[in-house]
A and B are shown apart, each in its own frame.
Chain A
Amino acid sequence: MADDTILKVDNLKVYFPVSNGFLKKKSFVKAVDGISFDIKKGETFGLVGESGCGKSTTGRAIVKIYKPTDGIVEFEGKDVTKIKGTDIKQFKKDMQMIFQDPYASLNPRMTVGEIIREPMDIHGIYDTKEEREKRVRELLEIVGLKPDHIRRYPHEFSGGQRQRIGIARTLALNPKFIVCDEPISALDVSIQAQVINLLEEIQEKMGISYLFIAHDLSMVKHISDRIGVMYLGNMVEVGNSDDVYHHPLHPYTQALLSSVPIPDPKAAGLKKRIVLEGELPSPIDPPSGCVFRTRCPKATERCAQEKPKLRSVDGRQVACFLYDEK
């Protein structure tokens, strides 16, 4: 493992049990079914996929909200799934999360100051209340709010401002790693750009690594250094964001990218869309072999029998038999 790797996910599996009623066999929703990737220090790793592909579950398993069924999540060389006691507190300090819904993720009965100060109170970072108060004001300024907003309540702010409050709260503990779970999808277009720029500025200043989860491919391409594409609990392609975007290898990535509507009428007229047939299969009973084969235009018999593994092709990783011999 290279020294600059901050997070390593190896064969992560998260299954949720579902009950089918009395006397029936218990089955599982295979939300994440054996994915591996790593993230370097100061890097932004984008995780994309459609709803139900397991990208949020992956993020939550990494911050220890869900317990993995199998696999290893290594943060700075330590297995996250096994840490105990005081180490957990340190881990939670280094690893923070920004949530999707800026309305539901802030307690309506607490003032902005209390919300941002709470993590510092829990972890006992500063000795006096004055120091914490000062830090809260600093943080508010970093995220572009006014220090005198400290006594206001969340309902007095707009969606974009609330997302800024959420970001200030995650920064309170000087984390090394932030999981951003669809941080902009609840915001208006003109506000999304503000939040993206803020996240980029913070990264430049503090060298934080991001796991950026989103379904909006154009924004992910914009902010990420590397991108991982997920489909039905599996990672199908990982690579540099430019490579993946301009020369997608996996048939699913190709279809996904061609589906993105381009905000440019001339280019949109020239672009050929690969329209996928059908819908996402159920993660309770995924197809045998390659999970994408039921919708793949290039599927062969082999795809039904064997499950393709992620392998290196042209400097990136793809899970598809099409690139086997190359």
Chain B
Amino acid sequence: MAMLEINHLTTEFTTENGIVKAVRDVSLKVEKGEVLGIVGESGSGKSQTMFSVMGLLAGNGKVVEGSIKLDGKEISPLSFENRKDYEKTMDDIRGNDMAMIFQDPMTFLNPVLKIETQLVEPIINHNPDISKKEARQRALELMRKVGIPSPENRIDQYPHQFSGGMRQRIIIAIALACNPKVIIADEPTTALDVTIQAQVLDLISSLKDTIDSSIIMITHDLGVVASICDRIAIMYGGKIVETGTAEEIFYNPQHPYTKGLLQCIANPEEERKKLHPIPGSPPDLLNISNECPFVDRCESAMKICKLAMNDYTSFSDTHSCSCWLQHDMAKGKGEE
């Protein structure tokens, strides 16, 4: 059974200018122990999808449709009678069953609290019977697990005494504190330098083998997902346009956006050639209709793309894509 299952999730934000549909009819599944990568540009709704799952949406954001199931249990805010019940359930789930790793290691930690306090807090909150001494022991174990040298000395230090990469390790340790079922990592390496990014990615892929949590990686970097994700979902304009295994996405992309994205990154392993950028810029999600979000930038756009999106066409058990070019009537036409 899937560890986390999202079905037809739609999230909207009310703004002065109208309603922004940040997430539109998104369905996702993460199996136990699997690493799923969600790739998209800024404003594609990849973070908002996960914020909807965690119940961390901004005040003007609201889940308007869909179901979210964690290990079989429905946790969508729509399934609760009132806000209070929802918050109470989520307080228990956040940190315990689901944990999140954020992008910026500089602002996530509280600068006036020792590392020990911050690491022990989730352990004590979710295990009220544990003694302080035991909690500290467990914190030290976690620090060893994420590769922080001499944790006995460092546990009593403050965040400013740690470098960016080390702070990101602490944040990963906090996320691991209660053995969550699902870990959501929102651009965990974007703020780090390449050599430090390599260290953190190595850590995540080694953790993948030792813990049985499912991991969701949100990123805009195709290089990052290629190396550690089992499955990849490509998001654009609030929609998932294509999902598949890493091989399927990289070697057999079907959606024009996925194809375009792969063509506009420079692969340093290959000979120098001209890049093929995608013309135009991402869509405005304010008052957007049912159209395909990519329609204005797509080379093979048809009239129907303005009206609605096609259902998902499956190519294999894992690979599917939503595009009218896959429709029987369009087959062989759009490629020209």
Bound form: Cα–Cα A215–B197 in Å = 12
Bound form: Cα–Cα A261–B190 in Å = 12
Bound form: Cα–Cα A161–B281 in Å = 9
Question: Which of A218, A255, A265, A268 is the most central at the interface, judged by chain B CB atoms within 10 Å of its CB?
Answer: A265
The answer to whether A232 has its CB under 8 Å from any CB of chain B is no
Stretch touching chain B among A57-65, A122-130, A184-192? A184-192
Bound form: Cα–Cα A218–B272 in Å = 11
Which residues on the B side are within 8 Å of A196 (C-beta)? 266, 275, 277
Bound form: Cα–Cα A171–B262 in Å = 30
Residues 54-92 of chain B: 1 if any A CB is under 8 Å from the residue's CB, otherwise 0? Answer: 000000000000000000000000000000000000000
On whether the beta carbons of A222 and B272 are closer than 8 Å, the reply is: yes
The answer to whether B124 has its CB under 8 Å from any CB of chain A is no
Show the binding face of A for B, using Cβ within 8 Å: 50-51, 158, 160-161, 188-194, 196-197, 200, 215, 217-219, 221-222, 245, 255-256, 258-269, 273, 275-276, 279-280
Bound form: Cα–Cα A263–B226 in Å = 6
Bound form: Cα–Cα A24–B323 in Å = 67
Bound form: Cα–Cα A192–B276 in Å = 11
Shortest CB-to-CB span from A257 to chain B, Å, is 8
On whether the beta carbons of A261 and B223 are closer than 8 Å, the reply is: yes
Shortest CB-to-CB span from B220 to chain A, Å, is 6
On whether the beta carbons of B195 and A50 are closer than 8 Å, the reply is: yes
Contact of A264 among B194, B221, B264, B267 (CB under 8 A): B267
Contact of A190 among B246, B260, B266 (CB under 8 A): B260
On whether the beta carbons of B268 and A193 are closer than 8 Å, the reply is: no
Stretch touching chain A among B131-139, B179-187, B198-206? B198-206
Which residues on the A side are within 8 Å of B277 (C-beta)? 190-194, 196-197
Which residues on the A side are within 8 Å of B261 (C-beta)? 189-190
> Which of chain B's residues has its CB closest to A258's CB?
B198
Which residues on the B side are within 8 Å of A265 (C-beta)? 226-227, 246-247, 250
Bound form: Cα–Cα A177–B138 in Å = 57
Bound form: Cα–Cα A51–B193 in Å = 7
The answer to whether B304 has its CB under 8 Å from any CB of chain A is no
Contact of B165 among A219, A261, A279 (CB under 8 A): A279
23 A–B contacts, CB within 8 A, in A order: A50-B196, A158-B282, A161-B281, A189-B220, A189-B261, A194-B278, A196-B266, A197-B275, A217-B194, A221-B268, A245-B268, A258-B198, A260-B268, A262-B269, A263-B223, A263-B262, A265-B246, A268-B226, A275-B202, A276-B199, A279-B163, A279-B166, A279-B196
The answer to whether B41 has its CB under 8 Å from any CB of chain A is yes
On whether the beta carbons of A264 and B266 are closer than 8 Å, the reply is: no
On whether the beta carbons of B195 and A218 are closer than 8 Å, the reply is: no
Contact of B193 among A189, A194, A215 (CB under 8 A): A215
Which residues on the A side are within 8 Å of B331 (C-beta)? none
Which residues on the A side are within 8 Å of B281 (C-beta)? 158, 160-161, 191
Q: A193-B277, A261-B227, A262-B267 are in contact. Are A188 and B282 (CB under 8 A)?
A: yes
On whether the beta carbons of A263 and B247 are closer than 8 Å, the reply is: no
Bound form: Cα–Cα A221–B163 in Å = 28
Contact of B41 among A190, A222, A276, A280 (CB under 8 A): A190
Shortest CB-to-CB span from A155 to chain B, Å, is 14
Which residues on the B side are within 8 Å of A280 (C-beta)? 163, 193
Q: A196-B275, A259-B198, A264-B250 are in contact. Are A50 and B41 (CB under 8 A)?
A: no
Bound form: Cα–Cα A256–B275 in Å = 24
On whether the beta carbons of B267 and A188 are closer than 8 Å, the reply is: no
> Which of chain B's residues has its CB closest to A160's CB?
B281
Shortest CB-to-CB span from B286 to chain A, Å, is 14
Contact of B266 among A50, A221, A258, A261 (CB under 8 A): A221
Contact of A222 among B201, B250, B268 (CB under 8 A): B268
On whether the beta carbons of A218 and B267 are closer than 8 Å, the reply is: yes
Which residues on the A side are within 8 Å of B198 (C-beta)? 258-259, 261, 273, 275-276
Shortest CB-to-CB span from A294 to chain B, Å, is 13
